[in-house]
Amino acid sequence: MAATGSPRPATIEARGWGWRYATRRAWALRDTSFRIEAGERVLLLGASGSGKSTLLQGMAGVLGGADEGEQHGQLLVDGDAATATRGRTGLVLQDPDSQTILARVGDDIAFGCENLGVPRPEIWARVREARDAVGLDVPLDRSTSALSGGQKQRLALAGVVAMRPGAVLLDEPTANLDPAGVVDVRDAVARALDATGATLVVIEHRIEAWLPLVTRVIVVGAGGVVADGDPRTVLEQRGPELAAAGVWVPGIRPPFPPLPPAVGDTATRRDALVSGERLVVGRVAGAPVAGPLDVEVRRGEVLGIVGANGAGKSTLGLTLAGLIPALGGAVRAAPALAEGAALTPRARRRARRGANAAASPDDPATWTSTALLTRIGTVLQEPEHQILRPTVREELEVGPRALGLAEAEIASRVDELLERLRLAALAPANPYTLSGGEKRRLTVAATLAARPRVVVLDEPTYGQDARTWSELVAIIAALRDGIDDRGPLGVAAITHDGAVLEALAARRFELRTPAPPTETWK
């Protein structure tokens, strides 16, 4: 690709193509054939686990060699094997962390351009243009580790936009963005395509925002392409069939679980399981991102933590879950929840010195990991950050084994969760070969296996098709209402998905975005 100017748009073709990961018996995708002409704008649909992400990675030529998997057929970019045309396509993955390479925002956006040999003066003009185009409102010298999940997604997109590839490949680029951010990113992509004429292939489960931009829909399944045509024809003629398979189809809403019985405000307030009082949160000492806040996670209720990207939602969730300490104020667990919790050695030393007034058994940040395991479970925004074992089954066994449960009890819990979250067929698979939606269900299941009494979920429905979305919502509702002898649990859900909060009758707690810092890049 030329270092400057607009590249010619790329043509992409699959000829009976399929891929099977080396650690899996089943094919991720097979017998897939289509041709995407230069400059087309394609929306790639399919149920969770249908092979969409694998196909996109194949187009980008990043699936690896024979040691990583087996390929049938051909996948071509401009008539050559996709693996031989890297640089002609720009890929934004489901997990933006996997594409964050350098420590500062500006350097990370510039990385791809530097590898393409773009002259330095042009690089920095492209960097600023790409950052502004995707709405990443942070200084170029901001640490990439300080970005929220949604901001990291914009960062990855900015790096691709700056490269000006012949084809832009996007794997759920707006999954972690607030509603305004979804439109901003969609419009940024549209501007980039208008300027360069690049081909577009985008995967999204929630497709309404992308329909004005795309000219074609391709739906894939286990047997290859199951539908292909202009968006209106495919969605109107095949809508009910696709929705039954799990594809999100505008106008066809998945079933909601029944709403809970009303609970009086006074009774609810008496039953707060975890509360924050004048709480100030942040991931770095001296750098608060939100607060002071008064917030409660109550038994038998879902607390919906909402707000724009960068407002501190995930940081608040981690603080309430006891995974990072508060910068100010206090987090307190109800006496019944804190009873028997042990302080960490560090917290015990602090308490003896009187250096930390919050170092007491009712502060979850002072508990041991085992104490947290059965009390407050957390599902992180990035599934890869909490995957520990080489198979799906072993991953679900981590919590129960840490608790010293009997083998029969471990097997019972794991088998039940595998079935409920449609992971049974994947029990022997390596978790890293799962789709984004499957990884999300795995981390939810692994958290539930320890049977905590409070659950903090960060983007719980991320990457889900309509069917698995309904199943996850039903499980969260069951936790809220009580699914065993523990009775109703407390649930905090950090999400941009308004439908999930509506379905769960969640009490919304909104965080406001702080003013952006001043640009200091030189």
Residue with the two structure tokens 């794991």: 414
Residues 6+ apart with CB under 8 A from 267: none
98 CB neighbour count, 10 Å cutoff: 12
29 beta partners = 19
Q: What's the Cα-to-Cα distance from 114 to each of 10, 126, 127, 166, 227, rounded to whole Å?
A: 21, 11, 11, 17, 39
Question: Mind telling me the catalytic residues?
Answer: 172
Closest CA to 227 of 466, 20, 47: 47
Best CA proximity match to 10, nearest among 213, 201, 230, 225: 201
The type of residue at 159 is: G
Which residue is listed with tokens 């995967």?
203
- Locate 10 and state its tokens: 């790329």
- Cβ atoms of 200 and 41 within 8 Å: the answer is yes
Q: Is 314 left (phi over 0), alpha (psi -120 to 50) or beta?
A: alpha
Q: How many CA atoms lie within 13 A of 49 on its CB side?
A: 20
Q: Find, among 86, 34, 21, the residue nearest to 435 by Cα.
A: 21
DSSP letter for each residue of 15-80: EEEEEEETT-SS-SEEEEEEEE-TT-EEEEE--TTSSHHHHHHHHTT-S--TTTEEEEEEEEETTE
